[in-house]
Structures are given as structure tokens and as C-alpha cells.
Amino acid sequence: MTWLSLPASAISARREQAILLAAAGVALTLAWWLMARAGEPHAWLTLLRPSALVWDLASWGAAVVVWQAMMIATMLPALMPWILTLAALGPEQGWSEGVGSSWRNHGSIGRVTTFVAGYFSVWLAYSVVAAGIQAMLLSSGAGLGHRPELMGSGGAPSVIGGAVLVVAGVFQFSAVKRSCLTHCRSPLAFFLARWNDGPMSGFRLGLAHGAYCVGCCWALMALGFALGAMNLLWMAALALVVAAEQLLPGGERFGRWVGVPLMVWGARLVMG
């Protein structure tokens, strides 16, 4: 079937899907570029004054940028099924015109934009908290070992990094993780249950889904302290783990198996 033989609505849907995929590609490229730039020795995104363990507002803001870039790089691939599902919803898929119709009339790109904005607003709050914790640890100088950087290519000192790894590994087996992961694997059920009318519906749905995803992945994202949020190899591995948990058949079991090496590795670091 050629594009010319498709109905106008199908052509429009495919065009919008292509735009969304292209936008996601640009966002991912920018996020990885920011992390790569932050990892360079003399990058403009320096996270620490070289003279002392003192943070200023610019350093803290730069750390927030890097953490948020890490959130986008690792979470956006797993979010894509949600984006494409939301983009596909409309009257032609059997939705009632009386429920959410004015929101749908804004087009799939508008719906997705507000949804993604709400979703990453939650992760931005996480990034702000993570950068604050990073600032306190660096400023205190407690247990920082021979490296002043807490988030660099070398990762965290062994005790702090090991503790983070153990916590992340244990959390993989928790009931909270299991419940939130079940949600994150069911985009259509979520939209069916929570679809509401109004231009802010997308943003509210994004906030709700983002809260579930933070509940599911906060411990894995905290591995940025142990592995280095600017370590591209480890961040790529983390993105694959998150995507596998949420997208692959048997992803729940895979997530639990990931917790085992994290706990073993972390315990070895803590015990020296």
C-alpha cells in the first residue's frame, strides 16, 4: 500500500508519528551530547570549583542539567511506547466523542507534548534533589576518598558507591518496585482508566505516569552516584536495563535478576 492510496487520516497519523520519532531522536542526541560534554576535563558544565569543595549556584544548576540529561537519555526509550500509544488514540480507535474530545482535537502532537512535559517535570524534581544531595556530599568532604568528584568517569568512592549499589539491588526485589513496574508496562490500560477532558489532561497524565516511573526507577537512577552520570558506557547500560524491564516479555523477572549482581558488587565495595 502506498501513501497515495491511504486515507487522509492515516497519512496524517503517519506524518505525526514520524515527527514524534524525529523529535525523540533529537532529544536523545542532545541528552547524550550534554553528558559527553560534561565529562570532558575542561567542559563548560564543570560540576566543581577546582580550588575547593564549594558549590555555587551555577555549579548546582549545571549538576541539575546533567542529571536531567541522564533522565532523558535513560527514560525516553522506555517512554516511547507510551508516546506512540497516546498519539494513536482518537475517535477512529473507538473512543467516545463525549470523553476527552476537546483534548483529542488538539492533535496527537499537542497531546504528546503536554504528556511528556508533565512526565519529565517529575524527573526534573528528582534531578533537583539529586543535585542537592551531590552538593551536600561534595561540600562536606565526608568519605570522598582520593577523588573530589562524586559524579565523574571514575564514579563515587567505594563505600558510598557500594552502599548505593546495594540499595539499588535490594529495591529491585521490593513490592513498590513490582507495583510501579506493572504500571509502567501497561500504557493502554493507564490511558483507558485515566483519560479526562481539557487541555491540561496530558500534563496531569504525564505527572501521574512520571510519579510511577520515579517509584519504579529512582534507585537505578541513583546509580549515577556510584557509576558516574557522565560515564556514557554505564549510562547506556542503565538505559538498556530500564527499557528491558518495561518493554520485554518477562521484564519483571529480568529486573529482579539485575538486582543480584548489584548487591554483590556493592557489598564487595563496602567491605573493601
* Domain spans of the chain, in order of start: 3-271
171-182: pLDDT as tens digits: 999 999 999 999
Low-confidence ranges of the chain (pLDDT < 50): 1-6, 41-42, 44-54, 91-105, 142-155
30-80: pLDDT as tens digits: 999 988 887 654 454 444 444 444 456 777 888 898 899 999 999 999 999
Q: What is the DSSP string of 50-118?
A: TTSS---HHHHHHHHHHHHHHHHHHHHHHHHHHHHHHHH-SGGGT--TTSSHHHHTT-HHHHHHHHHHH
For the whole model, what pTM was predicted?
0.82
Q: What is the DSSP string of 16-53?
A: HHHHHHHHHHHHHHHHHHHHHHHTSTT-SS--S-TTSS
CB atoms within 10 A of CB 160: 20
